[in-house]
Amino acid sequence: MAETKRMTIREALSQALREEMYRDETVFIMGEEVGVWGGTYAVTRGFYDEFGEKRVRDTPIAEMAIVGAGVGAAMAGLRPVSELMTINFAFLALDAIVNHAAKIHSMFGGQFKVPLTIRTTTGGGRQLGATHSHSPEIIFAHFPGLYVCCPAMADDAYGMIKTAIRNDNPVMVIEHSTLYQTRGEVPLDQDYLVPVGESRIVREGKDVTLVSFSKGVHWCLEAADILAKEGIEAEIVDLRWLRPLDTSKFIESFKKTNRMVVVEEGLPQFGVGAEITARVMEEAFDWMDAPIKRVTAEDVPLPYSREIEQMALPSAEKVVKAVKEVL
Amino acid sequence: MADFKKADLLDMYYDMVLIRRFEERCAQLYQEGKIGGFLHLYIGQEATGVGAVRAIRKEDHIFTAYRDHGIAIARGLDINALMAEMLGKVTGVSKGKGGSMHLASREHNFWGGYAIVGGHLPLAAGVALRARYMEEDFGVLCLMGDGATNIGYFHESLDLSAVWDLPVVWLVENNQYGMGTAVKRASGVEEIVKKAQAYGMKEGPRCDGMDVIATYEAVKEAMEYARKNGPVLMEALTYRFVGHSMGDPERYRTKDEVRQYSEEDPIGKFGAYIKSKKKGTDAELAELDQKAAEAIEAAVQFAEESPDPTFESLFEDVYVD
């Protein structure tokens, strides 16, 4: 095992990007305010001075072009990191992501590859109102041709950036806007990668399986601490990748605990919970001792006002309540 | 005016005829149910495609929209593999997964036909970025229809190309209708090249897209400028003699209008030009017509005898392994 260093997710992302840019001259960053400003979440602070404007490219506010030009540059053999300031603006780039990044390799019979990384940040809870508080990761996970990962921990943030940049497919790295200050141990290994489509158990337990990703993992960890005090041992599966989706670990866990709660910040309808539940029905129906519960955002546009926004979002308490309903 | 050798002129003539025969044969195959999906024919616009593609170098790159057969043929893609793609065969340029609207060949630096209007524009900018990033001497020819100049992609891509001085020739094939909507009914500016001014971009010419030599010269000059300095927006004024796609009722234009333009057939005009310059005879042109017809028949035979893709192929090339 490599030595580790404790750092924030922001530092882990930044270090991974910096190392990859030193490792490979074809890696460059483009997006709104990535350069002179230093990145709106400060991930690329200092990069502009360190690497220059050729490799840290400020763009106009033009999401279709940020992703579309990234697709073209990737097809031409560069390794762009196209940054979308937040996932809310990814809707503007949806065609470039879905119809181009995800399709070009297949549609032209494998002639072109698109080694593009799209970095963006998701999540609500910051009183930004309905248009700026989405958690729509599932939209991107719907389409074959893309990979989608969502780091919840610092080591994953570090390894996923490197994996995305080195992979020959388009990869979306969807960070969470409230996790940049979250600390964790990161391996001191410049080649630390996160296997594509591999989930992991972040806490072991025998009584119930909690399945989540991104910020949801932290609600689950908090809930597991509360439950532990009451003698309930929750096992937590961090999906890490929404595409490809690793079913093996949560199915295995479910066969042990026979009970499950799926936790996500996104909306309930056709969400991750719906997908995971269907997979359990298909692969482990006979192990089911109680109906699977979902903890999601309320099925409404998120509001501005602090109290009601928090009421609309998942929480550790809501996870605890759901667990008690399945026990 | 460029000094064309006889062989060059006859080659261009042959390409135009080959495109025409390809398109006519495709229309038949479509009616026979052998070609599916949408079929957008290039008949009438051959001079634009052949002139533009001939004007750039092998190391330059090409993007175009869904009316792409003529561009692919002008770029020298294998006619058998093109026809096989039309028929959805595994021997097609895109292994039967692309179809009429998604022809491409990496080895020809032909990056494809794209069917989302305007979707290929930022991709062209991205490929052009490589030239600046790696300090390589190539340019990108990005063709689009007049309709594409009203979509958001156009604005974002042209602006980005201007900000970064990217070597792109944005060539608008103005055939006067976006599907059935006339340019003036869809664009605040009828003279599309004027849109260059909004981006501080070099405003290129509006060349006669029915004249292969005029198009050649205009694109050649634009590409030389683009490689050195940055993007150019230019227009080729052309006309499609057939519907937008098969089954177009053509309510948006009169038969008289189509007849008028058809009398100015770019192939006939070019043939007459060659003869007037004493660079070819009726017999030589007739021989090329015959050669093109034979090549197309051989391509149809190749395509029809080629195997269909298998079920297993569905799962190939979804990701790079």
pLDDT of residue A155: 98
Q: Which domain holds residue A312?
A: 200-326
- pLDDT per residue, tens digit, chain B (321 aa), is 567 999 999 999 999 999 999 999 999 999 999 999 999 999 999 999 999 999 999 999 999 999 999 999 999 999 999 999 999 999 999 999 999 999 999 999 999 999 999 999 999 999 999 999 999 999 999 999 999 999 999 999 999 999 999 999 999 999 999 999 999 999 999 999 999 999 999 999 999 999 999 999 999 999 999 999 999 999 999 999 999 999 899 999 999 999 999 999 999 999 999 999 999 999 999 999 999 999 999 999 999 999 999 999 999 999 999
Disruptive mutation site among B156, B163, B165 for chain A (greatest number of A CBs within 10 Å): B156
Percentage of chain A beyond pLDDT 70 is: 100
pLDDT of residue A113: 98
Query: Are both A77 and A205 inside the same structural domain?
Result: no
Instruction: State whether A110 and B122 contact (CB < 8 Å).
Output: no
- Which ranges in chain A belong to alpha helices (H)? 9-23, 47-51, 63-75, 94-95, 104-107, 137-141, 154-166, 215-229, 248-257, 272-284, 306-312, 316-326
Task: Give B106→chain A minimum CA distance, Å.
Answer: 6
Sign of CA dihedral A256, A261, A265, A270: positive
The backbone torsions φ and ψ at residue A160, rounded to the nearest 5 degrees and listed phi first, read -70, -40
Tally of domains within chain A: 2
Instruction: State whether A77 and B104 contact (CB < 8 Å).
Output: no
Q: How many cross-chain Cβ pairs, A to B, lie less than 8 Å apart?
A: 133
- Which residues of chain A make contact with B106, given a CB cutoff of 8 A? 111-112
- Chain A CA closest to residue B120: A68
Interface of A with B in 196-255 (CB under 8 A): none
Token code pair at residue A14: 């930044």
Q: How confident is the model at residue A2 (pLDDT cuts 50, 70, 90)?
A: confident
Q: Is residue A195 part of a domain?
A: no
DSSP A38-97: --TTSTTTTHHHHH-TTTEEE--S-HHHHHHHHHHHHHTT-EEEEE-SSGGGGGGGHHII
**Of the partner residues A99, A113, A145, the one whose CB lies closest to the CB of residue B116:** A99
Task: Give B2→chain A minimum CA distance, Å.
Answer: 32
The backbone torsions φ and ψ at residue A267, rounded to the nearest 5 degrees and listed phi first, read -75, 155
Separation between Cα atoms, residue A67 and residue A74, nearest integer Å: 10
Q: How confident is the model at residue A1 (pLDDT cuts 50, 70, 90)?
A: low
Task: Give A108→chain B minimum CA distance, Å.
Answer: 4
Task: Write down which residue in A187, A220, A237 finishes a domain.
Answer: A187
Axis-axis angle for helices B266-276, B282-305 (nearest 10): 140
Residue A132 has pLDDT above 90, yes or no: yes
- Which residues of chain A make contact with B127, given a CB cutoff of 8 A? 72-73, 75-76
Q: Is residue A192 part of a domain?
A: no
Task: Write down which residue in A187, A217, A241 finishes a domain.
Answer: A187
Catalytic residues of A: 63, 132
Separation between Cα atoms, residue A144 and residue A140, nearest integer Å: 9
Query: Are both A8 and A88 inside the same structural domain?
Result: yes
Query: Are both A55 and A153 inside the same structural domain?
Result: yes
Separation between Cα atoms, residue B205 and residue B193, nearest integer Å: 7
Residue A326 has pLDDT above 90, yes or no: yes
Q: Is residue A138 part of a domain?
A: yes
**Of the partner residues A28, A64, A108, the one whose CB lies closest to the CB of residue B104:** A108
Query: Are both A157 and A34 inside the same structural domain?
Result: yes
- Chain B CA closest to residue A92: B152
Domain boundaries along the sequence of chain B = 6-303
Query: Are both A275 and A302 inside the same structural domain?
Result: yes
The per-residue b/e assignment along B175-205, b for 16 or more CB within 10 angstroms, e otherwise, is bbbbeeeebeeebeeeebbebbeebebbbbb
Q: Which residue in B26, B20, B24, B50 sits closest to B38, CA to CA?
A: B26
Instruction: State whether A111 and B123 contact (CB < 8 Å).
Output: no
The residues, any chain, with a CB within 8 Å of residue B212's CB and separated by 6 or more, are B12, B16, B46, B47, B50, B51, B54, B266, B270
Q: Is residue A151 part of a domain?
A: yes
Query: Are both A36 and A152 inside the same structural domain?
Result: yes
Stretch A140-154: mean pLDDT, rounded?
98
Provide the CATH number for the domain around residue A50.
3.40.50.970
**Given this structure, which CATH class describes domain B6-303?**
alpha beta
Q: How confident is the model over A44-54, as pLDDT tens digits?
A: 999 999 999 99
Instruction: State whether B159 and A60 contact (CB < 8 Å).
Output: yes
Query: Are both A65 and A156 inside the same structural domain?
Result: yes
Query: Are both A251 and A289 inside the same structural domain?
Result: yes
**Strand intervals (E) in chain B:** 61-64, 110-113, 140-145, 168-174, 177-178, 181-182, 202-208, 232-237
| Beta strands at B181-182 and B177-178: parallel, antiparallel or unpaired | antiparallel
Q: Which residue has the higher pLDDT, A2 or A76?
A: A76
Give the residue numbers in B contacting A (CB under 8 Å), as ranges. 61, 92-98, 102, 104-106, 111-112, 114, 116, 119, 121-130, 133-134, 152-153, 155-157, 159-160, 163-164, 316-320
Query: Are both A171 and A230 inside the same structural domain?
Result: no
Provide the CATH number for the domain around residue A209.
3.40.50.920
Q: Is residue A193 part of a domain?
A: no
Query: Are both A148 and A12 inside the same structural domain?
Result: yes
ipTM of the complex: 0.96
**Of the partner residues B127, B133, B152, the one whose CB lies closest to the CB of residue A64:** B152
The backbone torsions φ and ψ at residue B178, rounded to the nearest 5 degrees and listed phi first, read -90, 105
pLDDT of residue B1: 57
Separation between Cα atoms, residue A244 and residue A242, nearest integer Å: 6
Disruptive mutation site among B134, B138, B144, B319 for chain A (greatest number of A CBs within 10 Å): B319
Instruction: State whether B156 and A109 contact (CB < 8 Å).
Output: no
Task: Write down which residue in A138, A163, A187 finishes a domain.
Answer: A187
Q: How many C-beta neighbours within 10 Å does residue A125 have?
A: 21
Task: Give B157→chain A minimum CA distance, Å.
Answer: 6
Q: How confident is the model over A199-258, as pLDDT tens digits?
A: 999 999 999 999 999 999 999 999 999 999 999 999 999 999 999 999 999 999 999 999
Separation between Cα atoms, residue B232 and residue B204, nearest integer Å: 6
